[in-house]
Structure 1
Amino acid sequence: MEPAERFLLDRLAYLQCAMSLLGFVLLRLWRSCYGRYVSPGSAFRVPARAAWALQELPSLAVPLWVCTVTAAERLHRAPNRILLAMFLVHYAQRSLIFPFLIRGGKPMPLYTFALAFMFCGYNGYLQSRYLSQYAVYADDWVTDPRFLVGFCLWLIGMLVNIHSDHILRNLRRPGETGYKIPRGGLFEYVTAANYFGEVVEWCGYGLASWSVQGGAFAFFTACILFTRAQQHHQWYLEKFEDYPKFRKIIIPFLF
């Protein structure tokens, strides 16, 4: 059973890479449908706070379920525990804290919500099952340069993501409406500073885990968020004549 499941987890990771490429192509052809891009007449929409909380929750709940009902033999090793904790900390913030900080927020189309919900369940199982049952690390892996650099990137990326979300939430003063150009932090250099932070975060996680599963998730994040960042960048350029032309899309000084 174990070799068969390990084989399955590897195939699920490769499938995630394929989904990344497919999503990249589709989102280049058709715009993402959420937030400011949702048509006012769209039916079957989920309130913003509920959508964000529920769609991200499987990435927290599924790993906790996996670790509770299975042997989770590898979690007695420090590297496995730390890596799984990195994953869970992010999604605890995204599902239990971030949604309740949203001010207003546009309802999300039901199909967008459903796709995100299914992906979070899929990825939550993939990452947690691999780390809790099959990932083998030496006891000194936490001192390996790949782990140390990856952990630092994960932490920096998460802090950038949280700070950038804070800037976006506070663009408008109470009672104000309409859109504004984000200022401060990495928004001085890129349009999608929040996405940049999340890409750095999961690339760090992928490096620290040094696994196909972690790498596949990092690749998926980069593919999907890069297309969304391009969409945001083009929207700002069309919306604001004074939008800083030197700002890159998502990666400072590059793209």
Structure 2
Amino acid sequence: MPIPMVLDILFPPTLFLTGASVLTLLSLVILGVLEIRGINLKYSKFVNTASSSSSSSSISFKVPSRVGMLLIYTPAFLVGVASFWLYPADDSRFLFLKSAVTIHFFKRLFEVIFIHKYSGKMSLDTMIIILVSYFCLSLIYTQTFNQGLSEPSIDLKYLGIVLFLVGISGNFYHHYLLSKLRTKGDKEYKIPKGGLFELVICPHYLFEILEFLGINLISQTLYSFSVTLGSAFYLMCRSYVTRKWYISKFEDFPKEVKALIPFVF
């Protein structure tokens, strides 16, 4: 993308934010590469496949997955709520951003309590990695650097709101479909059906990327762009590994079903 166009759609970054953006992107890329190499975050279907699980030096303390997710999402949601008090502003862009991040974590808490079905446990080290990787919370703080600056000449925040709503709705719907695969007490994995599961194995990741893209367009900062790009790369890697897992577990897995992007990847 030509530099003048970038300047038209992004707030000018400070040196600090540029460095934070690079570090954030690299961190998420590393997590994605580790997924491809078989060093998976130990939750969901990969709880027993991470190579680090056999290491005597790894943190072995585990909690039920539902408890672990609640411990992860609750502080993030509370920070989102507190941001309305910590950073009061009349700026509609900032208000939309705080609202989107808070709604994002509220939905996740709602799903943990009422939607998702869990069958395993989560290790403490995985909880810590997931918790510290919630860069979207720092989107609120980094947005304060732009208060008082001139708005980008191309305003994308309303398009961002639309993409955010489409992404969060699609993500919720496909999580709901996943929850219906198991009856009470059932711990066996099954091939997902319905919705975009007929085309890709991880449509919930696809919609999550749209959700992050929406937040990026609401924010319009270099830092939000790095979070979106890094998150998309990580979820692409995670979906690739997920598809490989399904192929290895189910002989009747439909080979035409892609990992993340219908008909393409």
Q: TM class by shorter-chain length?
A: 0.7 to 0.9
For the 8 Å contact 1:67–1:132, the answer to whether it is kept is no
State yes or no: 1:76 paired with 2:90: yes
Aligned partner of residue 264 in structure 2, secondary structure: coil
**Number of aligned residues:** 243
Q: TM-score normalised to the size of structure 1?
A: 0.85
CA drift at 1:149: 2.5
Residue by residue, what CA displacement relative to the aligned partner does 1:187-212 show, whole Å, maximum 9, x if unpaired? Answer: 11101011111011101221232211
Amino acid at match of 1:127: L
State yes or no: 1:37 paired with 2:46: yes
Q: Pick the aligned partner of 1:197 from 201, 207, 216.
A: 207
Partner of 1:112: 126
CA distance in 1, matches of 2:150, 2:104: 25
For the 8 Å contact 1:168–1:182, the answer to whether it is kept is yes
Residue by residue, what CA displacement relative to the aligned partner does 1:46-71 show, whole Å, maximum 9, x if unpaired? Answer: 211111122123432334445534xx
CA RMSD of superposed structures (Å): 2.6
CA distance in 2, matches of 1:221, 1:107: 24
Partner of 1:129: 141
Q: Pick the aligned partner of 1:90 from 104, 108, 118.
A: 104
Residue by residue, what CA displacement relative to the aligned partner does 1:58-105 show, whole Å, maximum 9, x if unpaired? Answer: 432334445534xx36x21112101221111111111x3121123233
CA drift at 1:151: 1.9
Q: 1:153 to 1:35 in 2, by over 3 A?
A: same
Partner of 2:3: none
CA drift at 1:230: 1.0
Q: Pick the aligned partner of 1:52 from 69, 92, 98.
A: 69
Residue by residue, what CA displacement relative to the aligned partner does 1:6-65 show, whole Å, maximum 9, x if unpaired? Answer: 543442222101112222222221231222222398731121111112212343233444
Partner of 2:244: 234
Aligned partner of residue 108 in structure 1, secondary structure: strand
Q: TM-score normalised to the size of structure 2?
A: 0.82
Q: 1:217 to 1:57 in 2, by over 3 A?
A: farther
Residue by residue, what CA displacement relative to the aligned partner does 1:171-199 show, whole Å, maximum 9, x if unpaired? Answer: 02234441211000111110101111101
Q: What is the correspondence of 1:5-24 to structure 2 with a 5 Å cutoff?
A: 7-24=15-32
Partner of 2:35: 27
CA distance in 2, matches of 1:35, 1:198: 17
CA drift at 1:107: 1.0
Amino acid at match of 2:224: G
Q: 1:7 to 1:64 in 2, by over 3 A?
A: farther
Residue by residue, what CA displacement relative to the aligned partner does 1:214-243 show, whole Å, maximum 9, x if unpaired? Answer: 111111211221111111101111111211
CA distance in 2, matches of 1:197, 1:136: 33
Percent identical pairs in the alignment equals 26
Structure 1, 189-198 or 220-229: larger mean CA deviation: 220-229
CA distance in 1, matches of 2:129, 2:165: 27
Higher relative contact order (Cα pairs below 8 Å, separated by 6+ residues): 2
Aligned partner of residue 30 in structure 2, secondary structure: helix
Which has the larger share of helix? 1
Q: 1:6 to 1:63 in 2, by over 3 A?
A: farther
State yes or no: 1:216 paired with 2:230: no
For the 8 Å contact 2:96–2:218, the answer to whether it is kept is no
CA distance in 1, matches of 2:139, 2:173: 26
CA drift at 1:248: 1.0
